[in-house]
Amino acid sequence: SILLTDQGNQLAASDPRQAENRYDEALDLDATNEEARLGLARLLMKRGFMADAKELLAVEGCVGCGRLEAMMLHEQAVKAVEAGEMATARGLFQQAYDTGNDPLDALGLAQTYLAVEPYDLMQAKMLLEMAAPRIARGQVEAEQKFRELRYQLLMACAAARNNELVEMVFRIRTPELEEEPEFDLRFKVSQQQFRNGDSDPAIERISSLLEKSGQYIDPTQREVMGAALVIMYSARAAQHLSANDPVGAAKDIAAGLKIDDSNSRLRLQQVLAIAANRLELAFKELEKSSKSKDAPTVEAILWSLQAFADLDAGSVSKAQVSLEKAEALAADIPEVHLVKAAILAELRNEDLKKQEIKDARTLAGFSYPGGRINQYPSALAHLARAQAQVVEQGVLHPWRGPGFDQRVAALKEKLAFFPYEVGWYDGKGGLIEVFAESGRKDVEFSGPRWLKGTAIASPNNTAEIQVPNVGLVLLNFDGKQLGVVVEAGAHIKVKIP
């Protein structure tokens, strides 16, 4: 039996079929020959006969059979992951782990919980905790897999804004990681948290690294961290200003200036923080930074604040003058669009003739506040533009007018009576987009300057009516007539039941 096993081992690579025969003969002579049993099982696995291999290994007293069976299950699980069959892979990895207690199988299980959204972060954490103490120093494959999955889990926790779980995962370490400070990893995770709007833990972690371990961090990396922290303080200051918290903004600006006392961005943000309560002083302070390339943007924001102050004082005409000054400096920023929206909501539509005003009131399908047809569509369009720009600018944008969020909320509440969703339109005039909620709708339309035609809408396809010359547009459908006032820059979405 031993001789036949040796022959099988020699033939396994060059002639696997003959090797199988030798192993079979060896087992016929001695069923307890473990080396022959394992050799034959390996060859069966290579040929894809997993069930036969598993049956061969299911024998009592075979020391190496369990480990080989676990390896077989692991390979099947890996193939299931590659095929996207996560439930199957999960079951196979679990069987393999129960058989062999191999950390690679626990890591494979963790991988299945991070492979398909929504991720199961807690399960993945528990499995990393299970695997970590079993990965001995020198287990290169398992160590590398652990670090990859731990990084993926940290980033997923950061994206989910779950800082408590982030800290838990940082504490999960293999013996090889026990003494690692992981400065770079902690920095990357903090950046991810900040990008996802979780600014407080991100700033706290980087600040702590620089204060407590700065002397151990590579000078170049320390400089990069410091610069990133300044940007984070600046961005959070803008968030405080947007929420009308100038005190919080001032604290972050001061913290940033401790790191970089000549930072022009922070100096300009000081002007915006001052503007929250002392607008006149803010204009004077801005003169000290007038050479900065960002000064015109900040000045435009100050003029938008002045326009709001004029509106609050009941002077629409003064607000219009302040708006003109803001637009001359930076017309396409959220603060300017927002105050323009507020002003337009106070101004009558001067493009409509008397009969059109009468028709608009009769055919609108809703009541205008006080019966007065102000420039509500354009106001809503500029409001939509302002909100969209804030999203486009992202969390790192430094320039935000104090009280921006409150102004948005107040204007949205004021215009909530308007029945149509309105977006921003870049083309000439305005646009009506018709939505048919049930079945095909043939909508005949007519409007200013001989505008006339038929728009065909269905539940799956909207119809667009371009209105280059703004005014009242009449929509006729199902024996009904609807009057829609179209204004410059307004993309009005009309739903037909």
- Give the model's pLDDT for residue 288: 87
Cα atoms in the Cβ-side hemisphere of radius 13 Å centred on 409: 7
Q: Which domains does the chain have, with CATH numbers?
A: 2-193 (1.25.40.10), 293-419 (1.25.40), 424-496 (2.60.40.1120)
pLDDT of 411 above 60: yes
Lowest mean pLDDT among 165-169, 243-247, 350-354: 350-354
- Give the model's pLDDT for residue 41: 65
Burial class (CB in 10 A: 0-12, 13-18, 19+), 371: exposed
pLDDT of 64 above 60: no
Mean pLDDT across the stretch 91-101?
A: 86
- Give the model's pLDDT for residue 35: 65
pLDDT of 62 above 70: no
Tokens of 361: 């009131």
For residues 305 and 273, the answer to whether their CB atoms sit within 8 Å is no
pLDDT of 71 above 80: no
Q: Residue 433: beta bridge partners?
A: 464, 493
Lowest mean pLDDT among 39-53, 134-148, 407-421, 432-446: 39-53
- Give the model's pLDDT for residue 14: 78
In this structure, what are the phi and psi dihedrals at residue 454, rounded to the nearest 5 degrees?
-130, 130
Mean pLDDT across the stretch 395-406?
A: 97
Mean pLDDT across the stretch 196-203?
A: 93
- Give the model's pLDDT for residue 489: 98
Question: With bands split at pLDDT 50, 70 and 90, how would you rate the model's confidence at 61?
Answer: low
- Give the model's pLDDT for residue 168: 98
pLDDT of 164 above 60: yes
pLDDT digits (tens, 9 = 90+) for 15-40: 777 776 777 777 667 777 666 666 66
- Give the model's pLDDT for residue 208: 93
Q: Give percent of the chain with pLDDT exceeding 90.
A: 78
For residues 239 and 202, the answer to whether their CB atoms sit within 8 Å is no
- Give the model's pLDDT for residue 21: 74
Kindly give, in sequence order, each residue whose CB lies less than 8 Å from that of residue 6, ignoring residues fewer than 6 positions away.
Answer: none
Of 409, 401, 377, 417, nearest to 308 (Cα)?
401
Kindly give, in sequence order, each residue whose CB lies less than 8 Å from that of residue 208, ignoring residues fewer than 6 positions away.
Answer: none
pLDDT digits (tens, 9 = 90+) for 359-369: 999 999 999 99
Residue 284: strand, helix, or coil: helix
Cα(297)–Cα(405) distance, integer angstroms: 19
Kindly give, in sequence order, each residue whose CB lies less than 8 Å from that of residue 75, ignoring residues fewer than 6 positions away.
Answer: 45
Tokens of 302: 């100050």
Mean pLDDT across the stretch 43-52?
A: 67
Between helix 316-330 and helix 334-344 the angle, nearest 10°, is: 150
Distance between start and end Cα atoms, the chain? 84
pLDDT digits (tens, 9 = 90+) for 276-331: 999 999 999 999 887 889 999 999 999 999 999 999 999 999 999 999 999 999 99
Cα(228)–Cα(309) distance, integer angstroms: 35
Question: With bands split at pLDDT 50, 70 and 90, how would you rate the model's confidence at 420?
Answer: very high
Cα(61)–Cα(45) distance, integer angstroms: 21
In this structure, what are the phi and psi dihedrals at residue 491, rounded to the nearest 5 degrees?
-105, 100
pLDDT of 414 above 90: yes
Using the structure block, give the residue that is written with the tokens 């909508």: 443
Predicted model pTM: 0.81
Q: How many CB atoms lie within 10 A of CB 34?
A: 16
- Give the model's pLDDT for residue 66: 56
pLDDT of 3 above 80: no
Using the structure block, give the residue that is written with the tokens 């003494």: 179
